[in-house]
Structure 1
Amino acid sequence: MILFALFQRLFALVSLAVLGLSGWLIWSWWDRERDFEALGFGDPSNDRLYWGLGLLAFSFLGRFLILLLLGRGGGMASDKRRDGVMVDGADGSRLRLEIEGRTDGPILLLTHGWGMSSRIWADARASLSDRFGIAAWDLPGSGLSTRPTKGWSIEGFADDLKAVIDRLPEDRPIVVVGHSIGGMTTQTFCARHPEILNGRVAGVVLENTTHHNPLRTMILSGLVTALRPLIVLMMRLDILLSPLVWLMNWQSYLSGSTHMAMRIAGFGAWPTRAQLELTSRLPVRTSPAVQAHGNLAMIRWSVTDSLPAIPVPTLVLVGGRDLVTKDHAGEFIAKAIPHAELVRVPEAGHMGPVERNEAYVEAVARFAARVTQPATSAPGGFAAFDAPVGRRI
């Protein structure tokens, strides 16, 4: 999420400023205390000490207060790791793949957004695993997957997705689900590997994603696009200074500044504290260099011209309050793909699959059940799909 990266950097700098101010207040109190003792005067005011200690505590414990202010009560399913295997990626990476749920029938293959990992699907996996097989993997450099050795590109991620599909049982239909960069990867996969569409892959779900450079489909796209050279420079500095940026990100996380950035950029409605905590923690665990490489790859990417050639039934989910990927991007995708259905979730932000999990899960479940029903008259042996008009959830 490039927009989140920009907000994260801004709030991290503010967090560092607060930490620096706390240090200055404590030092200035100590310096005045020393001068007063040398001159034989009475004790100086301790106001600076108290303010300094308070800001210092907030710099490392503030996230607890921020979560109380920005999140509501309520939990989410456990995001603990399941048993998994490592798959050789097409770009030289080793990919973590976890499989659970039903051992027969369709498989939902889940691809997460950038800066996250397969742990982001905790609620979806819990809700869907009794109806489908669930396969979730970590993109290169994310979660437990290693970094690619052949460069960073969405095309490379798409070939990795193909490698993951090749590892799944051949006798079970697959519905590929991609959120954000996962949706970008899925669209690129469809363009690069059409031979397995309407065969092994019976359907595609694209959640809160775009079809070209995400700078052009986010809020204030004109301004952000004009600032592209500065954004590219920031990403390259993140790669060069990755260890220092990582320390800054962790301090920002502890202070709650990362949570504020995620609340603004990621959520449309009022998230639970558990949702806000998970979506704020995962990007901090991911190397800033990895995130920067992926963001640069997104800026260089487009699949717009390939959309009309995608033959597979497609479900496109958009969030009405998504600032990272405005809803017009999903609307364009749904119109360009011949057999596509558009579903709008009005209150959802970019992290719609997390904050409005029930709505997303039910839309995906209905779609997957429909496109994977056996039908000898349909291509690939699965039911024919006539896309209905767009609808709201």
Structure 2
Amino acid sequence: MDAVEVAGLRIGYQRAGHGPPLVLLHGAYEDSRVWRRQLESLSDEFTVIAWDAPGCGRSDDPPPDFSGKDLGDALTGFLRAAVPGKPHILGLSMGSGIALEMYRAHPEVPASLLLVSAYAGWAGSLPPEEVERRYAQVLDELERPPEQFIPVWLPTLFTSRADPSSVGEIAAIMADFHPKGMRALLNASGRADYREVLPTITVPTLLLYGAEDVRSPLSVARDMHQHIPGSTLVVIPDVGHLAAVEAPEAFNAEVRHFLHGIAGG
């Protein structure tokens, strides 16, 4: 595990391989370990870099008043400190929001965006009552031990056909979450709305979703596709929110196909 300091925060990350840089941003209650299959597979032709967001994994917890802008700036600072060249940015779920926050302030930074199981922020993609339900749910969970609520999350992340060992691996990673860090991230991004960012995106953009995702369903995917000019929407059949874990071969193949298309274009 490597680390850099960004705005006074230690940011941990994993790196593997050589080639064009591909940066992986995990989702809520997660850290860079969820990308094990991508670090192993895609590193044959890319420099794959998976960060631990502030407040996650081996990174420091941000202050309680950490804002969405602070989060985007932390990513920008991390990219400048740890990533060679112009990176492809792949964000999963919450990570996609961080990527959009970064793009809003620094559109010159990424070579492309790969937004996986993505939202235009919860408030940009979900009805207000669902945003508040999710916000309240996470606030309540932060007061309880993980074994009480992670089993409730897992069926919303995977289909019933997912490999039990993969589900167990993710459950163990989620159980390592930082209560203070997750609270700061919720405050920073839980009510974010990036709808105005979508039409401004000019870099090649892949939208990659599981067909059976119940957290960011295909209605959200189609809306994102409609509002990001020239974006490519790909749906992986028979998988849920964590397609990168549930169907890594199909997921990695779609990532390669998209990045090869950019290089070939």
TM-score by length of 2: 0.90
- Unaligned runs of 5+ residues in structure 1 are 1-82, 374-382, 384-393
Tell whether the 8 Å contact from 2:159 to 2:240 is kept in structure 1 after alignment. yes
Letter in 1 for 2:248: N
2:89 matches 1:176: yes
Is residue 311 from structure 1 mapped to residue 202 from structure 2 by the alignment? yes
Distance, in Å, in 1 between the alignment partners of 2:31 and 2:83 is 23
**Do structure 1's residue 343 and structure 2's residue 230 form an aligned pair?**
no
Residue of structure 2 in register with 1:213 after alignment: 122
1:223 shift after superposition: 5.5
- Whole-Å Cα distance in 1 between the matches of residues 72 and 49 of structure 2? 16
- Per the TM alignment, residue 301 of structure 1 is displaced from its structure 2 partner at its CA by 0.5
2:49 matches 1:140: no
Do 2:4 and 2:82's aligned partners in 1 also have CA atoms closer than 8 Å?
no
The equivalent of 2:166 in structure 1 is 275
Amino acid of the structure 2 residue aligned with 1:97: Y
Q: Percent identity?
A: 25
User: C-alpha deviations, 1:165-191, integer Å up to 9, x for none?
Assistant: 112454x44211110011111111111
Equivalent position of 1:98 in the other structure: 14
Alignment of 1:8-47 (within 5 A): none
1:234-275 Cα deviation digits (max 9, x unpaired): 655656xx4xx2xx324x4xxxx734x243211125111221
Matches within 5 A, 1:1-393: 83-84=1-2, 86-90=3-7, 92-102=8-18, 105-149=19-63, 151-168=65-82, 170=84, 172-196=85-109, 201-213=110-122, 217=126, 224-225=130-131, 228=132, 232=135, 235-236=138-139, 242=143, 245=144, 248-250=145-147, 252=148, 258-259=150-151, 261-373=152-264, 383=265
Q: Is the 8 A contact 1:322 1:349 kept in 2?
A: yes
Count the aligned residue pairs: 265
Distance 2:138 2:241 in 1: 21
Q: 1:155 to 1:346 in 2, by over 3 A?
A: farther
SS of match in other structure, 2:44 = coil
* Displacement of 1:290: 2.8
Distance apart, 1:368 and its partner CA? 1.4
Verify the 8 A CA contact 1:238 1:292 in the aligned structure 2.
no
Asked if the contact 2:212/2:241 (under 8 Å) is kept, the reply is yes
Aligned mates of 1:297, 1:169 — CA distance in 2: 24
Helix, strand or coil at the partner of 1:194: coil
* Structure 1 Cα separation of the partners of residues 134 and 35 of structure 2: 29
Q: Distance in 2 between matches of 1:307 and 1:211?
A: 8
Distance between the aligned counterparts of 1:327 and 1:214, measured in 2? 16
In structure 2, what residue type is equivalent to 1:369?
A: H
Q: Secondary structure in 2 aligned to 1:178?
A: strand
Secondary structure of 2:111's counterpart equals strand
Q: Which runs of 5+ in 2 are unaligned?
A: none
339 and 269 in structure 1: CA distance in 2 versus 1, 3 angstrom threshold: farther
> Is the contact made by 1:308 and 1:338 (CA closer than 8 Å) also made in structure 2?
yes
CA distance in 2, matches of 1:333, 1:215: 10
Residues 235 and 293 in structure 1, CA contact (< 8 A), matched pair in contact too: no
> 1:111 corresponds to which letter in structure 2?
L
**One-letter amino acid of the structure 2 residue matched with residue 89 of structure 1:** V
**Cα deviations across residues 144-180 of structure 1 (Å, max 9, x unaligned)?**
000113723332222111112112454x442111100
8 Å Cα contact 2:37-2:245 kept in structure 1: yes
SS at match of 1:338: coil
Q: Aligned letter for 2:115? A: L
> Aligned-pair distance for 1:233?
5.3
Aligned-partner Cα distance in 2 for 1:180–1:232: 15
Higher helix share: 1
CA distance in 2, matches of 1:320, 1:233: 27
Report the secondary structure of 1:140's partner residue: coil
Residue 303 to residue 123, structure 1, CA distance change in 2 (3 Å): same
